Amino acid sequence: MSKVFLTALGCRLNEAELQRWAQEYQAIGYQVTQRADDASVMVVNTCAVTGEAARKSRQVIRKFHRKNPAAKMVVTGCYASLEEQQANEILGVDLVVPNEQKDQLVAQTQAVLDIPSMPAMATEPGAPAIFARNKERAFIKVQDGCRYRCTFCIVTVARGEEKSRTEQSIIDEINQHVAEGVQEIVIAGVHVGGYGSDIDSDLYSLVKAILAKTEIARIRFASVEPWDLPEGFFELFANPRVLPHMHLPLQSGADSVLRRMARRCKTQEFAQLVNTARTQVPGFNVTTDIIVGFPGETEQEFAETLAYIESVGFGHIHIFTYSPRSGTKAARLPGQLDNATKKQRSQRLHQLAAQLKQQAMQAQLNQQVAVLWEGSPQVLDNGLVRFIGHTPNYHRVYVDVPAQYDLSNQVLMTQLTRVDGEMLEGQVESAELPKTGAPILLQS
């Protein structure tokens, strides 16, 4: 059986696309492999959110070609769309599939590369179609593109206009994952909050349909821009299947910087949104993105950002140091900051972010929460094994258990006992373990 290797850089939307291609490749008789040197076809889903991301995309393509020069190399994603000619010229690349043709990627690889296929019935009976490294969790792409044009963002250029998937196609995909044993889905897209704008629907209606028409146990959201959320959206979280966490990108805590970024949300509106979520949903965790050193950012504006972030409080902050991206309006703005200033501000923000994260984790202590434990546990020197999972509100937690237990893809009530670095330590009552079914011996 021919094998395909799939890998992605960048956002969770890219991961969601890998999962769909994995299903489509398996439908034509391909086996998904985690080993690049074992594949006859390799697919790299690239990123171009920054110049550094584009450089890493080129680097990854070359690396995998060196690992397996005999394999057919398919390159897609934002870098491949923005720099199609350049991507085509990289040694080892056989086919470039722009973003607007991603839905036909598997068919194109068959037609253009003349790759062999087997009928779907020839695949191993009952073989799960889910992308192998996400057995507990599946990323569901619900839409693509964005109607807005933030001045720093190249992704909207690479991804194009908004296009929503039909509700039924999303329901069908989730039900397939449920049948494969997936416990948790992550709703992903470029502008998730704008879902349905082109098909007379919205995100609220979609989630209601998922709750009604699937048995998926846990629903999360990937990054959601803090605008366009439907009225009454946070009422959805009254259902415990909708987990109390959202990643809401802020980008700056100074309104003057947000205007230069062409962001659609002001700091006061963002604070009101967070307050609504925390009022309606106990334990709701908000994480965010912040760009430091945006063109023209003064020391006063940066001080405003620090004060605002501290006042709102975040469970985690992704911090990006601004770098000019060719093709964006921000790259042409005056007041480009020097690297030393940007680095110093990044360090200050990292310190604050670490403090806020510690506070958020400390607030979780002594709670008992349902944790979905992930696969690939770590074997410890003391004979125990360590499983990693996430609390419902998306704090990382670990638990050490005797080696005869395999907690992979099991949801267990877990007592949060202490903060250990950037993670929580948990404890599962030994009496709880048999209730999940017969313990499975870990493979040596």
Chain centroid to CA 397 = 18
Residue 125: its pLDDT value, please?
Answer: 33
Indicate the residue among 67, 97, 122 that finishes a domain: 122
What is the 3-class SS of the chain, one letter each residue?
A: CCEEEEEECCCHHHHHHHHHHHHHHHHCCCEEECCHHHCCEEEEEECCCCHHHHHHHHHHHHHHHHHCCCCEEEEEEHHHHHCHHHHHCCCCEEEEECHHHHHHHHHHHHHHHCCCCCCHHHCCCCCCCCCHHHCCEEEEECEECCCCCCCCCCHHHHHCCCEECCHHHHHHHHHHHHHCCCCEEEEECCCHHHCCCCCCCCHHHHHHHHHHHCCCCEEEECECCCCCCCCCHHHHHHCCCECCEEECCCECCCHHHHHHHCCCCCHHHHHHHHHHHHHHCCCCEEEEEEEECCCCCCHHHHHHHHHHHHHHCCCEEEEEECCCCCCCCHHHCCCCCCHHHHHHHHHHHHHHHHHHHHHHHHCCCCCEEEEEECCCCEECCCCEEEEEEECCCCCEEEEEEECCCCCCCCEEEEEEEEEECCEEEEECCHHHHHHHCCCCCCCC
- Rounded-to-integer distance, Cα 421 and Cα 426, Å: 13
The string of pLDDT tens digits covering residues 399-434 is: 999 988 899 999 999 999 999 999 999 999 765 664
Would the pLDDT of 383 be above 70? yes
Shared-domain flag, residues 205 and 248: yes
- Residue 289 is encoded by which pair of tokens? 């993105």
Both 177 and 92 in a single domain?
Answer: no
- Same-domain status, 46 and 138: no
The answer to whether residues 167 and 253 belong to one domain is yes
Report the distance separating Cα 39 and Cα 123, nearest Å. Answer: 17
Residues 327 and 229 in one domain: yes
Q: Are residues 248 and 293 in the same domain?
A: yes
Residues 6+ apart with CB under 8 A from 288: 247, 248, 249, 250, 314, 316, 317, 318
Residue 159 lies in a domain: yes
Same domain, 357 and 399: no
Residue 444 lies in a domain: no
Percent of the chain with pLDDT over 70: 92
Q: What is the pTM of this model?
A: 0.81
Largest CA distance in the chain: 65
Tokens representing 19?
Answer: 């999962």
**Number of domains into which the chain is organized:** 3
Does 147 lie in the same domain as 208? yes
Looking at the structure, do residues 14 and 81 belong to the same domain, yes or no? Answer: yes
pLDDT tens-digit series, residues 212-252: 999 999 999 989 999 989 889 999 999 999 999 999 999 99
Q: What does the alpha-carbon distance between residue 116 and residue 101 come to, in Å, rounded to a whole number?
A: 21
CATH of the domain at 44: 3.40.50.12160
Per-residue pLDDT at 437? 47
Q: What is the pLDDT of residue 8?
A: 92
Residues 355, 400, single domain; the answer is no
In a domain, residue 259? The reply is yes
Query: Is residue 312's pLDDT more than 90?
Result: yes
Percent of the chain at pLDDT exceeding 90: 71
In a domain, 127, yes or no: no
Does residue 441 form part of some domain?
no
Note whether 253 and 345 are same-domain residues.
Answer: yes
Last residue of a domain, one of 308, 329, 362: 362
Q: Output 135 or 181, whichever has higher pLDDT.
A: 181
pLDDT band at 348 (very low <50, low <70, confident <90, very high): very high
Domain-terminating residue out of 122, 147, 168: 122
The reply to whether 327 falls in a domain is yes
Q: Which two tokens stand for residue 127?
A: 């073989």
Q: Find the angle CA(18)-CA(22)-CA(68) to the nearest 5 degrees.
A: 85
pLDDT band at residue 144 using 50, 70 and 90 as cut-offs: very high
Residue 380: give the domain boundaries: 368-436
Burial of 187-196, coded b for 16+ CB within 10 Å and e otherwise, reads bbbbbbbbbb
Higher-pLDDT residue of 433, 352: 352
Query: What CATH number has the domain bearing residue 373?
Result: 2.40.50
Beta strand 316-321 with 285-292 is: parallel
If asked whether residues 63 and 80 sit together in one domain, one would say yes
77-130 per-position pLDDT tens digit: 999 999 989 998 898 899 999 998 998 999 888 877 765 544 333 333 333 344
- CATH code, domain carrying 207: 3.80.30.20
